[in-house]
Chains A and B, each alone.
Chain A
């Protein structure tokens, strides 16, 4: 059973470009979470999704950031018009459809904005 997969592992963008981060959950998992780890800071919750639904996006910046988890395919975290402050490690986690269950993390995407 493959773990949570994220790609790309490293992404470099210039200011003003768009960044698309992909996450494929573990097999059998229907819940996806995105977390962000800014340099020298702890991980912070961004958004929680189930298939075709955003359940909680309270941790996501109001502008430029969006997330989706379509019926088919990976979950996508999209950052439009990136700025230097978006440089961080973005982690995706998944869990089975059981409340209070364990979250498994992917290797992360390290975004660098030049």
Chain B
């Protein structure tokens, strides 16, 4: 059974700082890994998808790395903005099943 841990649970930073969100998972036999953003009371927005054969994926200010063998992924958000405030979820996929961590709740202060 896949177990996903996200550290830290919460993060508060001033605007402009870079964010580093960590994710670890126990079963390294994954197809891919997705990072999502969830706003309070809303659905999930897919941010990045990293295939198991990839080490890194970038989209705008977001960069995610994957070390499949050690069961780790890191999401970097450059030059944070107040609009980045949300809960970020890491979800490795074993076959088609996504497993979710509890998330990291980010607050970016203006």
Contacts and interface: CB of A to CB of B under 8 A. Distances in A.
Contacts of A99: 31, 96
A81 B32 CA distance: 37
Main secondary structure of the interface of B (DSSP, over half): strand
A107 B103 CA distance: 18
Interface residues of B, number: 25
B46 interface: yes
A100 B103 CA distance: 22
B102 A35 contact: no
A69 interface: no
Interface string A29-56: 0010101000001111100100000011
Given A91-B43, A105-B44, A45 B98 contact: yes
Interface string A82-93: 000000000101
Given A100-B31, A102-B34, A31 B43 contact: no
Interface of B: 4, 31-32, 34, 36, 41-46, 49, 51-52, 89, 91, 93, 96-103
13 contacts: A31-B96, A35-B98, A42-B89, A42-B100, A43-B44, A43-B98, A45-B99, A56-B97, A91-B44, A102-B49, A104-B46, A108-B42, A108-B43
